[in-house]
Structure 1
Amino acid sequence: MNKIKKSKDVNIEVCQTISVHEDVVDKVRKKIPENGNLSELSEFFKIFGDPTRIKILYALSQVDELCVCDISVILKKTHSAISHQLRILRQAKLVKYRKEGKVVFYSLNDEHIKAILDMGYIHLFEEDEKTK
């Protein structure tokens, strides 16, 4: 295998010859979801690409529910900014809400959202945790 220098810390191994393993290729092709489903999945993960939205999700993962005012204070952002991000999270089915009089309370839509956050965090920082 040849090494291609990607950055100062990462080398990528590449084959020195072209050899297609048809049985493996066919098996993998059959298991890859349709393009439409992959596009939806890609859009889903884009929602996690904003630090404010991630902070909102983390805040909501710590308690059963929070109102917009609470989230605004926790994140030190305006009600308007929080409401905008909550709208995006709600459209992506990551959060749900309930009204109590004039107050709107938000919570994570289900336990999968917390699991996605936890797994992402573990993946990114597991090496840091091992060295402590």
Structure 2
Amino acid sequence: MSQAVALDACTDGCVHPDKVALVVANAPDPDELSVVTQVFKLLGDPTRARLLYALLEAGELCVCDLAAATSTAESTVSQALRMLRASGVVAGRREGRNVFYRLSDGHVRMLLDVTREHVVHTR
């Protein structure tokens, strides 16, 4: 048996009932899990991720600023922001003819910070 298989599989086939019961009792329900996976899918797109990190850095930007900062077409930025807003990841406020976007809350900020820290740490 290769070393990779040995690390990724149970070799003695035992089950730890107390740990399994803990996991089952605290597992997200299917609806909650669906929402969680949708958020990760949103974050999994490089364009949307660039926009989110731009908002993380600047705090609040309009579509024009986001397009310029990320070298992305305004139409692409608008489409991405529509999806992010619908999922509750970003929020917007209108000022005259412009809409300024920001991360919706501290949880989104934390998720972005921790993810980036993890990537930098594992390099």
**Alpha-carbon distance, 1:4 to partner:** 5.1
TM-superposed deviation, 1:69: 0.6
Q: Output aligned runs, 1:1-16, within 5 Å.
A: 3=2, 5=4, 12-16=7-11
CA gap of 1:35–1:3, structure 2 versus 1, over 3 A, is: farther
Q: TM-score, normalised by structure 1?
A: 0.84
User: Which residue number in structure 1 is paired with residue 52 of structure 2?
Assistant: 57
Structure number, greater radius of gyration: 1
Name the structure, 1 or 2, with higher relative contact order (CA <8 Å, separation 6+).
Answer: 2
With 11-20 and 49-58 compared, the bigger mean Cα shift is at 11-20
- Structure 2 segments unaligned to the other structure (5+ residues): none
Alignment-derived partner of residue 102 in structure 2: 107
User: Larger % of helix: which?
Assistant: 2
Verify: 1:38 aligned to 2:36, yes or no. Answer: no
Q: Which stretches in structure 1 are left out of the alignment for 5+ residues?
A: none
Identity of aligned residues (%): 37
2:69 is matched by which residue type in structure 1?
Answer: I
Once residues 28 and 51 of structure 1 are traced to their aligned partners in structure 2, the CA distance between those partners, rounded to angstroms, is 32
**Counterpart-to-counterpart distance in 2, 1:127 and 1:44:** 23
Q: In the alignment, what sits opposite 1:93?
A: 88
The structure with the largest strand share of the pair is: 1
The correspondence for 1:23, drawn from 13, 18, 25, is: 18
Aligned to 2:61: 66
> Would you say 1:122 and 2:117 are equivalent positions?
yes
Within the alignment, does 1:83 sit opposite 2:78 as a pair?
yes
Kindly state the Cα deviation for residue 86 of structure 1 after the two structures are TM-superposed.
Answer: 0.4
Q: State the alpha-carbon separation in 2 of the partners of residues 71 and 77 from structure 1.
A: 8
TM-aligned CA distance change 1:12 to 1:55, over 3 Å: same
Measure, in 2, the Cα distance between the counterparts of 1:117 and 1:106.
16
| Alpha-carbon separation, structure 1, partners of 2:10 and 2:22 | 21
- The AA in structure 2 aligned to 1:87 is R
TM normalised by structure 2 equals: 0.90
